[in-house]
Chain A
Amino acid sequence: MKKPEEKIRFNQFSFTYNESNTFGVHDIDLSVQEGEFIVLTGPSGCGKTTLTRCMNGLIPDFFEGKIAGTCQVCGMEISEHETGDYSAYVGSVFQDPRSQFFTLHVKTEIPFPSENLGVPMTLIQERFRNTVGRLHISDLLKKSIFQLSSGEKQKVAVASVYTAGVTIYVLDEPSANLDWIGTEQLRQLLKQLKEQGCTIIVSEHKLYYLRELADRVICLRDGRIQKIFSGKEFSGYSGEWLYKNGLRQVNLKQIREESVVIKPSSSEVVSIRAENLSFQYPREQLLWGNVSFECESGDIVGIVGKNGTGKSTLIRVLMGLEKPKSGKISLCGKYASKQKRRKKSFYVMQDVDYQFFAGSVLNEMISGYVNIPNVQEQAREILKSFSLAGYENVHPSTLSGGQKQRLSIALSCMCDMPFLYFDEPTSGLDAENMQLVRETIKQQASKGRIAFVITHDYEFAVSLFTSLLIVQEDHSIKRITPDQYTPTLLSKIFKLEE
């Protein structure tokens, strides 16, 4: 039997970015063999992305910095080669599906890397046909990249590097923006690539979908390899051990289902009531109709359902960003117009980059509340509870992904809005940050607020919700009231989706 070839080799390797002395990786010794499936995991900022950037040659060609030791990919030393030199061997799939395409259509994106590598026309066409057949993506070919769901985008990203004939796949948090179904599609795709003998390196927080695929799991902390586990060994660790080490769960079925009881401390009861709501985008069919429900102070409403069923649109209608086709929304028993609803709502977007406008973290916190006495002290106190003390004078855009997410949630504590809306607040977050977000939402609810949370993250949702809105494919929305809700119901819904 042929001995597997060594594809990647780190030897006492250290890297520090030019613009930062703290971030980077240190003393990495690692060898990746042909056909291996490696998972890189660890808390935010542990160096996962830096390692993947070394493997695809972006370091040090694109992201410059100081290197010590050696790193060889397919026998080429990264300090001596350009990023493009690796593109014939290494295919990269990035976290954000929006910015990983260079062209605007699926049909042109798939052959793009092959064209850049100068592969002859007839060979590209042959590989193109092969990719479409093997990855079952013929239904996507006519679409523009803007028409694809997140799962489909990741599929196209893999397809384009697959067509180029690469044998090493480096994926950086590929499931961060994916729903339950998209994650399952990704798992199937990775399984297929593994069966074909490809070498796969995935940097991830979410681990459950990689459970049966990983040959080795590499845990990183503070830029160093903390421990290397075999895939089997890692799957055997208890949920408690994983949480203690800042890691996400490997087996979702083992998560303890806890009922959440929120007793609002505020005497002032707020409520939101929707009556016969329906919504339709122009020139499209009805998204959902005949929606009626009511929620009261302390309710944490989970909004679940498949991609494209209109979950985000529902909260956009509730908070006053969209006008419903019919029906009315009342706040605290009185009809509320779009403007009124907006004034009483706070929205934490999936991509928090859009939410920061001020020049510093502290100014962001106090923006709009400058006339309130002791506002700065209050803001500093909240920042401290979100582990953001010391970042007051830093520009929000320079924070890490996890820190940005924490800041956006901290903003929701600053405002006195009774209605809070969260759209996928845990995408790309590690276990510790995920728990922090969950506790904050509970805290807000206990102050008498109503929180609406869209999530596909079962691990996050399981001990958070007190009621549900299930957006169904038949254009209806089913309300599960706090009296009817049990966590078992949620696990059933997620299993149904599985």
Chain B
Amino acid sequence: MSFKASKPDARILILQIAVAGVLGFYFHNEVAVIGLFLVIDFLLLYWYGLKVFLKRLISYAVMYGLIFVLTAVNVPILSMVFPAFLMMILRAYPVYLLLKLLVDKAPIDELLYALDAIHIPKSLSIPLMVVYRYVPTILRESHYINESLKMRDLNLSFSNLTRLVKTLENYMVPLLFRSEKISEELSATSLCKGLSLKRKRTCCTDVRFTRIDFLYLLGMAAVICGLFTLNYSNF
């Protein structure tokens, strides 16, 4: 049985989210923005394989294509509002991809330990971890609610379009009650399992910076330099 900590360290995965967020909105040159996305998409190619790489690339290209079409063909209001909104999404897209990478690749116990090591208060890190645990659960819950609505013909469909607000209420009410129940149960579970603001946690794997992490950081620095060069170049 191996007890190796996951690599790169969870702190690096958090750092790269922060860096991508700052760079995405800082860059004024579109080539640098695209470059940032491509670097992250290549990271996804390494972690998830070709299918995910292509899927993300296509979705990015479609968004770019939409901006291009909407600016070329002048549709009143839509051409004014939509491209700006899409541009925002394009700049935030790398952050979303890296967040997903963090959720999938960093084990929750290592993440908690890593956040503890960089002195992030537990009153912040524990609720963050609850959210992290909550997302996949709530996605499943909403799927079941949707099926139940379908069975009683209360789901959103063409025949129900006139009752949009009622349909939304039908969907939200059980979701909110389920959320409340799950959060109560999760909190009770975590307390019974000894999670506490006061107690110092340990980790069953050896979470610390190793040569791989330093190499990863070096690579990250090189990529950032390259992207800055692109941003200030005349492309």
A: which residues have CB within 8 A of B?
56-58, 61-62, 82-84, 86-88, 90-92, 94, 96, 98-105, 107-108, 111-121, 124-125, 128-129, 132, 141, 146, 160-161, 164, 319, 321, 342-343, 345-347, 349, 351, 353-359, 367-368, 397
Given the complex, which residues of A lie within 8 Å of B140, measured CB to CB?
Answer: 146
Q: Please name all residues of chain A whose beta carbon is closer than 8 Å to the beta carbon of B191 when the two chains form the complex.
A: 57-58, 61-62, 82-84, 87
How many whole Å from B58's CB to the nearest CB in chain A? 20
Residues of B at under 8 Å CB distance from A? 1, 3, 107-110, 113, 129, 133, 136-137, 140-141, 144-145, 147-154, 169-170, 173-174, 177-178, 181-182, 185-196, 199-206
Chain A hits for B150, CB < 8 A: 321, 342
Interchain nearest-CB distance for A61 vs B (Å): 7
Q: Which of A86, A103, A359, A368 is the one whose CB lies under 8 Å from B152?
A: A368
Q: Taking A61-B191, A105-B107 as contacts, is the C-beta distance between A115 and B204 under 8 angstroms?
A: yes
Interface SS of chain A: helix, strand, loop or mixed?
Answer: mixed
- Structural contact, A321 and B152, CB atoms closer than 8 A: no
Closest to B144 in A: A354
Q: Which 9 A-B pairs have the closest CB atoms?
A: A87-B194, A116-B194, A99-B185, A111-B204, A83-B191, A397-B177, A357-B170, A113-B193, A103-B108
Taking a contact as CB atoms under 8 Å apart, the answer to whether A99 and B201 are in contact is: no
Contact B149 A58 (CB under 8 A): no
The answer to whether B181 touches A118, judged by C-beta atoms less than 8 angstroms apart, is no
Task: Please state if A117 and B194 are interface contacts (CB–CB under 8 Å).
Answer: yes
Q: Is the CB of A111 within 8 A of B193?
A: no
Contacts of A161 in B (CB 8 A): 193
Q: For residue B199, give the distance in angstroms from its CB to the closest CB of chain A.
A: 6
Query: Other than the known A164-B193, A354-B148, what 4 A-B pairs have Cβ atoms closer than 8 Å?
Result: A99-B186, A108-B109, A112-B193, A357-B170
Which chain B residue shows the least CB distance to A87?
Answer: B194
What residue in chain B is nearest A63 (Cβ atoms)? Answer: B188
Rounded to whole angstroms, the CA-CA distance of A451 and B53 in the bound complex is 47
26 contacts between A and B (CB under 8 A): A61-B191, A62-B187, A62-B188, A83-B188, A83-B191, A84-B191, A87-B193, A96-B185, A99-B185, A100-B189, A102-B193, A103-B107, A108-B107, A113-B193, A116-B193, A121-B3, A121-B206, A125-B3, A128-B3, A319-B151, A342-B151, A353-B178, A354-B148, A355-B174, A357-B152, A368-B152
Q: Is the interface of B mostly helix, strand, loop or mixed?
A: helix
Residues of A within 8 A of B136 (CB): 104, 146
Instruction: Please judge, given known A-B contacts A103-B133, A319-B151, A342-B150, whether A354 and B145 are in contact too, CB under 8 Å.
Output: yes
Contacts of A129 in B (CB 8 A): 1
Are B177 and A353 interface neighbours, CB within 8 A? yes
Measured CB to CB, the closest approach of chain B to A346, in angstroms, equals 7
Contacts of A146 in B (CB 8 A): 136, 140
Chain A residues, Cβ within 8 Å of B147: 321, 354
Of A90, A98, A397, the residue contacting B137 (CB under 8 A) is: A98
Residues of B within 8 A of A88 (CB): 194
User: Which residues of the partner chain B approach A107 to less than 8 Å between Cβ atoms?
Assistant: 107
Whether B200 contacts A118 by the Cβ 8 Å rule is: yes
Contact of A121 among B133, B186, B189, B204 (CB under 8 A): B204
Q: Which residue of the partner chain A has the closest CB to B147?
A: A321
> How close is A223's CB to chain B, nearest CB, in angstroms?
20
A132 near B192: Cβ-Cβ < 8 Å: no
Q: A99-B189, A124-B204 are in contact. Are A345 and B151 (CB under 8 A)?
A: yes
In the bound complex, CA of A101 to CA of B186 (Å): 7
Q: Which residues of B contact A367 (CB under 8 A)?
A: 152, 154
